[in-house]
Chains A and B, each alone.
Chain A
Amino acid sequence: MRPIYRNFKELLPEMSWSPAMLAEKLSLIGFETEAEGEHLNVTVPTNRPDCRDFNYLVFDLAACYGLSSKVRDVVKVEPRRTVNVSTDEINKLLGSAVSTEDYRSLERLGFIVGEDSVAVPHFRHDVSEAADVAEEVVRVLGYGIVRKKQLDKRTNHDNDRYHRIISLKVELATLFKRELQLGLTETITSTFTEDGALRLNNPSNQTEPFLRPSLLGGLLQTVARNPYLKTGGFFEVGDVYQPQRKTALGVCLFGLKDYREAEDLLKDKLGRSVKLEPIAADVCLANGVRQAKVVFGEVELDEIRPTLAGREWRLFTSRPLPKFKPISKFPPLLRDITVAAEPTRLEAILKQMADFQNRHEKELLIAELIDCYTPQGGTKNRYTLRLIFQNYRRSFTSDDIEMIERRIGQHFAEAA
């Protein structure tokens, strides 16, 4: 805080303000005042280093009350910065219909509004062009002055690369049985890794100072995160650095007896073969992966020429996102059950599954159809449902598990 002094008696008559009025107005903007004989002792707040002397303070204050012309001859200050801007320009930027009269409300903030220009208060170093003035106008008059208007519709975008990626993801998510949406699950993993070709100067974690050279590490960590899943697959599309940047697709499958079907399907979808290589047991162990038969394949996205079916992927992505159910720290209980039924009963089975989920909403985290097949010589289909339970307060006991299994048996017995 620093004091500045001014003999105010010569000034105040011009402004028609009493000393008390001036003190009150100054206190409104954070200045403490104290009269000392013919002087007014003003203490400047630390956040106003721009307040060089009393002349500027009084001039800018007077401008807020439309009195700048009266004090101009008494208070000696440098000329203000002027911004050339008209009401039309303000309206063009804001999408408003502000009148010149409305525009003059800027004078409440100490601006001096002219025909096609605005004189800016000395302390407003942040206002130097039309856009800055427009912001002041909308701050003073409120966002209600902005007339909301929709952009015109156009169809001239070229989003082939994006469409290729998103439709590829949908195809992978429905890789195996598209009509039932059985397939791989997309994961997103960290860009940072312990080893690679491109190093950060300032990593947040000293054990992961590199940008990933491959999607393998992240996908193995994803598999390791889900030890109760014995079969399945994950994929990721993301940038890798070797050290040149490439956008890659990584696929990691586990627990499948035969990977040839998956390789064939991938070749069909991607327009080129993806070699799925087995991951050595010691690598799996080092990454905490407990599942058997882990294979991984990676291919640069630009090398893929997908033969996509051209279906509307937004039917898949535009579904409303469900409400998230919190995940507990206690281990989940996974039960896959297979129901034998006529093909015409599929809808009834799915309804029964939904009923079961509603009834056991508290503990049943995920319920989904994961497979469908017809055994050789059989007439009925086999529908495999996956039910994943979790207790939010404790681990399941043997009694809990027994009760859950009994409920599953009772509920789905009718479906067969």
Chain B
Amino acid sequence: MRGHLHPLTQLADQIIGYFEPFGFEVCLGDEVVTTEENFDSLNIPVNHPARREMDTFYLSDGKVLRTHTSALYFSEMRRRQPPVRLLFPGRAFRNEATDATHNTVFHQIDGLVVDERTNLGHLIESLEGLFQALLGEKLDFRIRTGHFPFTEPSIELDIKLPGGKWLEMLGAGMVSPNVIRYWGLDPRKIQGYAFGIGLERVLAVISGVNDIRLNFTGDYLYLGQY
């Protein structure tokens, strides 16, 4: 049997390969995190619906399965000083019904840049450059205002599909001053950007995989195509 790397591994490595020349460090952290790491440190209020048991998996010791790889920001930033450029690839977990576009387990790559001068222009250029590199063609992009607790301003990046339809690719933004304060830094001096890429979604666009669950079946008819 010929060997194949899982398409999500190949895609993640292509994304990491795009960012590495810019000095990004890859952080491989724990899937089990504290609520402080997953919520508090990311400016997610105590009454936010994402904290409910209907959305988040809880363990008996009060820890949670990370609902996003952004949960690793806090532990990494606690032991670093700016400037930093980090990537966080890995699994994330949401307690939700499974269908062709949702699964309880999925994959993300988060990016985080923190220093004194990185701005929204750097973020947009980074993301557009990445998708140009991944899709290998001239693309039309659209930036929309988004809302995420841990970024301000927040944006959503859309790309135009060949049929003319716009598709939301990811959420991103400048790191919220509250998050920077939580790290013990001064948001008047320190700023930076953060983004979160859903790998299954990007794979769907690049390769046309129409059911997220295929990634977990181990079906050689699927894996063998890559």
Contacts and interface: CB of A to CB of B under 8 A. Distances in A.
Interface of A: 92-96, 129-132, 134-135, 138-139, 143, 146-159, 161-162, 165-166, 169-170, 172-176, 181-192, 198-204, 211, 218-219, 221-223, 225-226, 229, 231-234, 239, 241, 245, 247, 313-314, 316-327, 332, 365-366, 368-370, 386, 388, 390
Nearest to A150: B125
A187 B218 contact: yes
Given A185-B223, A321-B10, A316 B177 contact: no
Contacts of B13: 166, 313-314, 317-318
Task: Name, among A151, A317, A390, the residue most crowded by chain B CB atoms within 10 Å (CB to CB).
Answer: A151
B226 A322 contact: yes
A93 B120 contact: yes
A173 B59 contact: no
B221 A221 contact: no
Interface of B: 1-11, 13-14, 16-17, 20-26, 28, 30-32, 53, 57-60, 65, 85, 89, 91, 93, 95-96, 98, 104-105, 113, 117-122, 124-126, 128-129, 136, 143, 145, 152-155, 174, 176-177, 187-188, 191, 203, 206-210, 214-226
Given A134-B174, A150-B125, 7 more contacts: A93-B120, A173-B3, A185-B1, A186-B9, A226-B221, A321-B207, A365-B221
Nearest to A368: B2
Contacts of A188: 6, 8, 215-216, 218
B177 A131 contact: yes
A384 to B, nearest CB: 10
Contacts of A154: 21-23, 85
Contacts of B24: 157
Grouping DSSP codes into helix (H, G, I), strand (E, B) and loop, the B interface class, with mixed when no group exceeds half, is: mixed
Given A132-B152, A157-B20, A185-B224, A173 B4 contact: yes
A54 B11 CA distance: 56
Nearest to A136: B153
Instruction: List the 5 closest pairs (A to B, CB-CB), nearest first.
Output: A95-B121, A154-B23, A183-B3, A222-B218, A232-B1
20 contacts: A95-B122, A130-B187, A148-B128, A151-B125, A156-B23, A157-B20, A159-B20, A159-B25, A161-B28, A181-B2, A187-B218, A191-B31, A191-B93, A200-B59, A200-B65, A202-B57, A225-B219, A321-B11, A324-B208, A365-B225
A181 B226 CA distance: 12
Contacts of A165: 28
A321 B120 contact: no
A390 B225 CA distance: 13
Contacts of A169: 5, 9
